[in-house]
């Protein structure tokens, strides 16, 4: 295998030539293409089997590049960029003329972020432009948090997978819209609501799923092959054991207060007490339960504060109607 520097140069070259590169970020792996190359971007949608109306996030190498890609940027956006970039925060702003329709589904806004991963920052700085990158998984599936996950999901459809190790955050970026009214959270993620509020000095709302009209927010998303059923902690064990008694292969994600309770299920996973650690492991755990042949995963939602909000959001989506 070539050196990391050679791999970074190779990735930048492939992007320049219209190819697709899977890239590590601190949140999840992305499927990257030159954001200004409509042909390359169209291939991203094909490979993911994602409808072309669903806008992509454009990744930048440096917060200073923000003004090239967005117009009429409100002051709060600069404040958030200064505080959280490089990091797991995506800002939705009015698009500039630089952004091709294909990349953003033809809408009036663009989603931008500076990822916090040294390898991908090096690729961005060598490449020089913006990299459009959705999570590197088939549409509606579980996002990849390792290079192996990418290869398992997309295989040879990607020109190059740049392995930057396991993702440290493990859930996607927080998406904040700053277009007309007060900033709102469109998707909870790696930057917490509490941290955003501390920096903005005001409360920030989380859009309810039904209020979000932008394509790409589906009731069923982030879903493993197994069905996911949510239960209150006091019903979790009963729910899992009943399904198991009916002969189903059941996996159960057991929250810390129940770690010492004996449970009969096919696969029992004790989830970490720290939400930081739970977020980091969440997608890998869902994949492991699939690999172990579970037909049903029973889980409880963590308290919706800190990273618990993002974990609860992903588990709720995974349990959504298919």
Q: How far is the CB of 58 from ligand TXA (least distance, A)?
A: 9
Compose the 222-261 pattern: x for residues touching ligand TXA by CB under 6 A, - for all others. Answer: ----------------------------------------
The structure tokens listed for 25 are: 């970020």
135 binds Mg ion (CB under 5 A): yes
> Which of 111, 254 has the CB closer to ligand TXA?
111
Residue from the set 4, 79, 204, 214 that interacts with ligand TXA by CB under 6 A = 214
156-215 residues near Mg ion, rule: CB under 5 A: none
> Which of 43, 244 has the CB closer to ligand TXA?
43
Report the C-alpha gap between 37 and 20 in whole angstroms.
11
> Which of 173, 266 has the CB closer to ligand TXA?
173
For residue 256, what is the DSSP state?
A: G
Compose the 159-188 pattern: x for residues touching ligand TXA by CB under 6 A, - for all others. Answer: -------------xx-x----------x--
27 binds Mg ion (CB under 5 A): no
Burial class (CB in 10 A: 0-12, 13-18, 19+), 78: middle
Q: How far is the CB of 184 from ligand TXA (least distance, A)?
A: 10
90 binds ligand TXA (CB under 6 A): yes
CA atoms within 13 A on the CB side of 44: 35
> Which of 51, 257 has the CB closer to ligand TXA?
51
User: How many residues are given for the chain?
Assistant: 322
* Total binding residues toward Mg ion, as defined by CB under 5 A: 1
Compose the 17-56 pattern: x for residues touching ligand TXA by CB under 6 A, - for all others. Answer: --------x-xx-x-----------------------xxx
- Could you tell me the end-to-end alpha-carbon distance of the chain, in angstroms, rounded to an integer? 41
For residue 47, what is the DSSP state?
A: H
Interface segment toward ligand TXA; rule CB under 6 A; list 33-41, 104-112, 158-166, 262-270: 104-112
Report the C-alpha gap between 300 and 240 in whole angstroms.
11
The structure tokens listed for 106 are: 């033809």
Please name which of 162, 107, 116 lies closest in space to residue 136, comparing C-alpha atoms. 162
The structure tokens listed for 42 are: 């169209």
Peptide bond into 2 cis (omega under 30): no
Residue from the set 134, 141, 153, 170 that interacts with ligand TXA by CB under 6 A = 134
Report the C-alpha gap between 129 and 57 in whole angstroms.
13
CA distances (Å), origin 188, targets 100, 276, 306: 26, 14, 10
Report the C-alpha gap between 64 and 129 in whole angstroms.
12
The partner in contact with residue 133, picked from Mg ion, ligand TXA, none with C-beta cut-offs of 5 to 8 angstroms by kind, is ligand TXA
For the four alpha carbons of 301, 288, 279 and 317, in that order, the dihedral sign comes to negative
Residues of the shown chain interacting with Mg ion in the complex, contacts defined by CB under 5 A: 135
What are the residues binding ligand TXA (CB under 6 A)?
25, 27-28, 30, 54-57, 88, 90, 92, 104, 107, 109-111, 115, 133-135, 172-173, 175, 186, 214, 216-217
């Amino acid at each position: 295998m070539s050196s990391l520097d050679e791999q970074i140069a190779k990735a930048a070259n492939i992007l320049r030539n219209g190819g697709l590169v899977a890239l590590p970020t601190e949140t999840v792996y992305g499927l990257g293409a030159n954001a200004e190359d409509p042909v390359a971007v169209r291939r991203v949608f094909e490979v993911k089997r994602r409808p072309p109306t669903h806008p992509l996030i454009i990744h930048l190498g440096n917060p200073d590049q923000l003004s090239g890609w967005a117009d009429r940027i409100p002051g709060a956006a600069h404040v958030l960029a200064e505080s959280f970039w490089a990091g797991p925060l995506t800002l939705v702003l009015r698009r500039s003329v630089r952004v091709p329709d294909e990349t953003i589904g033809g809408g009036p806004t663009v989603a931008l972020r500076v990822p916090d991963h040294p390898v991908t920052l090096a690729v961005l700085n060598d490449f020089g432009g913006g990299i459009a990158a959705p999570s590197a998984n088939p549409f509606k599936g579980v996002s990849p948090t390792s290079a192996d996950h990418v290869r398992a999901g997309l295989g040879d459809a990607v020109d190059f997978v740049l392995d930057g190790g396991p993702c440290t955050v493990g859930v996607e970026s927080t998406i904040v819209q700053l277009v007309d009214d007060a900033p709102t959270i469109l998707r909870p993620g790696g930057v917490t609501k509490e941290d955003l509020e501390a920096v903005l000095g005001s409360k920030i709302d989380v859009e309810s799923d039904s209020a979000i009209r932008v394509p790409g927010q589906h009731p069923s998303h982030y879903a493993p092959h197994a069905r996911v059923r949510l239960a209150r902690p006091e019903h979790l064990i009963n729910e899992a054991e009943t399904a198991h008694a009916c002969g189903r292969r059941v996996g159960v994600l057991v929250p810390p207060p129940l770690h010492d309770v004996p449970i009969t299920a096919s696969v029992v996973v004790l989830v970490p007490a720290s939400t930081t650690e739970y977020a980091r492991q969440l997608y890998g755990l869902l994949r492991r339960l699939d690999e172990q042949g579970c037909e049903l995963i029973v889980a409880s939602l963590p308290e919706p504060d800190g990273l618990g909000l993002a974990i609860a959001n992903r588990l709720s989506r995974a349990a959504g109607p298919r």
